[in-house]
Amino acid sequence: MADHYDVLGISRDASAEDIKKAYRRLARELHPDVNPDEAAQEKFKLVTHAYEVLSDPVQRQQYDLGPQAGFGGNFGGQGFSDFGDIFNTFFGGGQQRGPRSRMERGQDALLRVEVDLADVIFGVHKDIEIDTAVVCETCSGNCCQPGTSPVTCDICGGSGTIQRAVRSLLGNVMTSNPCGSCRGYGTTIPAPCTTCQGQGRVRASKTIPLDIPAGVDTGVRLHMAQAGEAGQAGGVPGDLYFEIKVNHHDVFSRDNDDLLCTLEVQMTDAILGTTVTVPGLDGEVTLEIKPGTQGSEVLTVKDRGITRLRGNGRGDLKVGIHVITPTKLSSKEKELISTFAKGRKQSTPALTHFQQGMFSKLRDRFFNA
């Protein structure tokens, strides 16, 4: 078994600083990322193991005293350290997994967007102003001051990990831990960007163009891939989600793709019939009130509802009729109505089963929503 001092090329009375300098010099020469030769890789393992032992005062003292001082005695011709190497082979101890990337995916974001009921008939375009993380314009996301770049960590040699020998009942078990100097990145940034403080991104406001399709309803979410926060160090941006809230309208309500409203009609118009033009959400609507129209009747205007989100065409506009019975009459009006009543066949009011018209059901559904 090679002598640790010989492996590092130092004397047995070398100081801790001498040991560290020798390891750094050999690591730069033999590290697998620099020297892919198999012989160099094997020697790098010996160098690393020698450094881990000699850099630890307790392990160095036990090593200087010889095998009798610890668990380094032979067992059947094989040292426990050799068995530790076998253990590492099977369980991955001490194997280098490579440095971790500085780039991180940005976070997703969820925003609520309010739209009017008229907007969802045909859809609407909105420019949404958001405050989010964007790529730093100074360094273009690489975290370094312009004109500089990351440098290989001189402690781990770019591997991002530090191997350490831990003595146990099974012998010397090599473990790998993230390098404390570069935090496992394998590189350090000597001159971080002063604009983003070395993060590769900054907070800023930006405008997101959003096309809201026709037919959306409250609770619908629209997804925009990679429109969320910028990732750290140039990482992939997160996604952006918009949750729709349709504002309440004072006149019109919604039942799936149909629009509902109520038209108040004077008693005389309901008796004699009339034609009225009323404003709709997408233009005027002409309604024909037939003679003898009853209260709670529903007039349907085809294709004047909301454009269907999935499918073709539009829903309908359904207008419930509410007949207004006058409560204050002049003497002349009372006389005319009395004459009208006397000329008709009188019937005695009678109780009957409670009936709820179609529009009443729709209206109840709206008010209970």
Tokens of 330: 């002049």
Q: How far apart are CA 174 and CA 90, in angstroms?
A: 12
Which spans in 92-153 are helix H? Answer: 119-122
In CATH, what number is assigned to the domain containing residue 282?
Answer: 2.60.260.20
Q: Do residues 194 and 145 share a domain?
A: yes
Q: Do residues 114 and 232 share a domain?
A: yes
Backbone φ and ψ for 5, nearest 5 degrees, come out as: -65, -40
Range of the domain at 115: 109-150+189-246
Q: Do residues 269 and 232 share a domain?
A: no
Q: Do residues 210 and 300 share a domain?
A: no
Angle at alpha carbon of residue 197, lines to 192 and 198, rounded to 5°: 50
Q: pTM score, two decimals?
A: 0.61
Q: How far apart are CA 18 and CA 22, in angstroms?
A: 6
Q: How far apart are CA 100 and CA 7, in angstroms?
A: 30
Establish if 174 belongs to a structural domain: no
Residues ≥6 apart with Cβ < 8 Å to 313: 303, 307
For every one of its 369 residues, what pLDDT tens digit does the chain have, with 9 covering 90 and above?
A: 578 888 888 988 888 888 888 888 888 888 766 777 778 777 888 888 888 888 888 788 877 776 544 333 333 333 333 444 434 433 444 444 578 888 999 999 999 999 999 999 999 999 999 999 999 999 999 999 999 999 999 888 888 888 877 776 666 777 778 888 888 899 999 999 999 999 999 999 999 999 999 999 999 999 999 999 999 999 999 999 999 999 999 999 999 999 999 999 998 899 999 999 999 999 999 999 999 998 889 999 999 999 998 878 999 999 999 998 888 888 888 888 888 777 776 666 667 666 555 555 555 544 444
Q: For 231, which DSSP code? A: P
Q: Do residues 236 and 126 share a domain?
A: yes
Q: Do residues 204 and 302 share a domain?
A: no
Q: Do residues 144 and 204 share a domain?
A: yes
Strand (E) or helix (H) holding 365: helix 358-368
Q: Indicate the residue among 94, 117, 142 that finishes a domain.
A: 94
Q: Do residues 213 and 313 share a domain?
A: no
Establish if 99 belongs to a structural domain: no
Helix (H, G, I), strand (E, B) or coil at 121: helix
Helix (H, G, I), strand (E, B) or coil at 73: coil
Number of domains in the chain: 3
CB atoms within 10 A of CB 61: 11
Residues ≥6 apart with Cβ < 8 Å to 92: none
* Residue-wise burial string across 135-168, b where 16 or more C-beta atoms lie within 10 A, e elsewhere: bbeebebbbbbeeeebebbebbbbbbbbbbbbbe
Establish if 160 belongs to a structural domain: no
